[in-house]
Amino acid sequence: MAAWAAAARQAASLARISSRTSVTSVAQSARLIQRRGLSGGGDHHGPAKVNCWQDPMSPSKWKEEHFVIVSLSGWGLLIFGSYKFFTGGKKDKKDEIVAEASH
């Protein structure tokens, strides 16, 4: 969303500048064009991150999105398992009726 707003602002400023006909307006428009010099992502800080299945015993080395998925899955499993353990799970009424009738 922010990229669209930035592009719209840049287009509006270039339109204003291009409406002038002097030689200096060309130089000014060349200065306003954004350069993305360092956004290539080639310079990483710290050790490289790995997939969670490549080093499952070291969560600090995992990629951020893998850590989030594994953490949320673990919490969900813990909460659901605790719920099932403490409530005893739901038993069907038919199974209880059949079990009582056979005794």
Number of domains in the chain: 1
Residue 62 lies in a domain: no
Question: Looking at the chain, how many residues does it have?
Answer: 103
pTM above 0.85, yes or no: no
**Contact 29/14 with Cβ under 8 angstroms?**
yes
Residue 84 lies in a domain: no
Can you give the residue range of the structural domain that contains 21? 2-32
Residue 15 lies in a domain: yes
- What residue has token string 């707003």? 5
**Contact 67/59 with Cβ under 8 angstroms?**
yes
pLDDT tens profile 24-66: 666 666 666 766 665 555 556 788 899 989 999 999 999 999 9
What is d(CA 85, CA 102) in angstroms, rounded to the nearest whole number? 27
